[in-house]
Structure 1
């Protein structure tokens, strides 16, 4: 992998200062920008490594602390967070506070930041995300459509649900191409939900792909208990191909 520069910074949003890392190839020139939304565990060393890996394909990758409104929040142990009752309660409480309105407001600030960086070219960007971040990626594509050229979601949950904030309800606003990498036997994104999402995107004329991975929810993130190396490698190949087609 080429050498990567990792820049720590803060971005001013309507609600405060959001800590971010920007991952860029250590070479001359500028690169298409991508926002990588972490899973429910939030920004942490695993996502520093994933940001570096995506940057190695020739992108400027922004990884935000989506929980920055929680002052001095403590990291989760992803191996036990969902089996430890108090930690499970804490993580779900934090997830619930990241509303679609917050996602959209933060995304606008992230995109403005990327547009102002010398390492970044263009005014439209990619988004990608995992679990909760996969849902965020599609919500942002619908809520800030003029800034998103390509949106990806991996083992994202709640992509087509009865929730009034469900991403599939934004299909007619999305201008981006969409890729969904779904985990088989994932109760947060069932085959019925996939059919609902597919119909909504098709009706809206959105170019999209929904693919199933023979792995469990969380397959792409190395510190998740269900991490699957083969499925994760497939997801990197899909990411490189999809952004290569739609961001270059």
Structure 2
């Protein structure tokens, strides 16, 4: 796969010709756990593309953790090592250019037409923005333990909802400092104002990063709930005709 900045690594799962799903990783990046998740989504009959969104900062292997993030303190140490610098440096302008490449590549393998997107942590922000950038194609958005989805910034991700044509399902982490109750409420208000079908729920007891089985934040019950919600969302939006 190629962007304006050169070749980019990506993981592709699923049989060619199925409906397409764009998978935005969390801040830890493209790795075996996100590939496993993509495989599961693909097993439902979808073609899933997981791009290495941090391609400007090194290969997926270069940026991958060197410790087991399930061990006490390892996840925190990894995030203290400059991870958030590249998250901040992946600006909306850069992400918008990349999204064109992701969707173009996905279209060469999927059946074309409407697409779904699922995003995790910072990937949830990318998912919401992509729905606003490409309303004619993006019809389903899943956002899971996302942070910073509704802020006071003029370019806050939730402002993209007004331009979208998607159905949205959010599963927020409980007591998440990056997505406090007032932000969840603001996100819900934006969904209502835009007239978009949605679910905007907090998963009680689930920590930020709850879907990531390779970290100490993993919550099996919340993860299975997310998979059930995501599958239902994709099935009702991507398998129906206008």
TM-score, with normalisation over the residues of structure 2?
0.90
If each structure's helix is expressed as a fraction of its own residues, which one has the higher value?
Answer: 2
- Give 1:147's aligned residue: 137
CA distance in 2, matches of 1:81, 1:100: 29
Write out per-residue CA displacement over residues 47-72 of structure 1, whole angstroms, 9 at most, x where no aligned residue: 11111111011110001111111134
Larger RCO: 1 or 2 (CA < 8 Å, sep 6+):
2
* Structure 1: unaligned runs, 5 residues or longer: 1-10
Residue 162 of structure 1, aligned match among 127, 141, 152? 152
Aligned residues: 232
Within the candidate set 206, 226, 243, 2:234 is matched to 243
CA contact (8 A) 1:51 1:61 kept: yes
Q: Which residue of 1 aligns with 2:82?
A: 90
Q: Which residue of 2 aligns with 1:112?
A: 104
* 1:56-107 C-alpha deviation (Å, 9 max, x unpaired): 11110001111111134331243445532x7514101111111111222111
Instruction: Kindly state the Cα deviation for residue 144 of structure 1 after the two structures are TM-superposed.
Output: 2.3
Q: Which residue of 1 aligns with 2:35?
A: 48
- Superposition TM-score, scaled by structure 1 size: 0.88
- For 1:111 and 1:124, locate their aligned partners in 2 and report how far apart those are by CA, in whole Å: 11
Please, which runs of 5 or more residues in structure 2 have no aligned partner?
none
Distance 1:42 1:59, change over 3 A: same
